[in-house]
């Protein structure tokens, strides 16, 4: 057995970006089957789909939807950063993109929240 690192070795923005990208990716992967199942209700007719859509029209689901939009925004920008690192000439760990992704996530979250309450 070797000694492992603790949180202190991981305390830097590129690692936080990795964590956000991984956690948001896993959360979206868990959501997608539910999403497709819900859309699949349309096969059983308009009433079945409307029934399930009506069930999701409540505060807890709206909050979840807001969370999904934020996760998607963060994952999208994190993915673009990784593509830039992998495919463009080297320009560091692109921490400017990490800051940009955070800003984009916050902006998307606020815009969606505004749409929800208006």
- Which positions lie near another protein, rule CB under 8 A? 1-10, 12, 14-15, 17-18, 22, 82, 85-87, 90, 92-93
Confirm if 104 and 79 have CB atoms less than 8 A apart.
no
Rounded to an integer, what distance in angstroms lies between the CA atom of residue 71 and that of residue 48? 28
Nearest approach, Cβ of residue 29 and another protein (Å): 16
Nearest approach, Cβ of residue 38 and another protein (Å): 32
Give the nearer residue to another protein in terms of CB position, either 4 or 118. Answer: 4
Give the nearer residue to another protein in terms of CB position, either 28 or 38. Answer: 28
Give the nearer residue to another protein in terms of CB position, either 69 or 78. Answer: 78
Nearest approach, Cβ of residue 74 and another protein (Å): 16
Query: How is 16-54 classified by DSSP, letter by letter?
Result: HHHHHHHHHHHHHHHHHHHHHHHHHGGGG-HHHHHHHHH
Phi, psi of 93 (to 5 degrees): -80, 10
Nearest approach, Cβ of residue 92 and another protein (Å): 7
Confirm if 64 and 54 have CB atoms less than 8 A apart.
no
Looking at residue 1, the DSSP 8-state letter turns out to be -
Give the nearer residue to another protein in terms of CB position, either 25 or 67. Answer: 25
């Amino acid at each position: 057995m070797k000694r492992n690192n603790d949180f202190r070795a991981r305390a830097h923005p590129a690692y936080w970006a990795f964590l956000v990208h991984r956690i948001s990716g896993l959360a979206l992967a868990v959501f997608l089957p539910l999403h497709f199942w819900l859309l699949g209700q349309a096969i059983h007719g308009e009433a079945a789909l409307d029934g399930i859509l009506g069930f999701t029209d409540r505060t807890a689901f709206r909050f979840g939807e807001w969370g999904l939009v934020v996760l998607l925004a963060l994952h999208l920008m994190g993915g673009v950063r990784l593509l830039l690192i992998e495919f463009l000439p080297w320009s560091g760990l692109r921490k400017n993109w990490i800051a940009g992704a955070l800003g984009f996530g916050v902006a998307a979250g606020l815009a969606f929240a505004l749409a929800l309450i208006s």
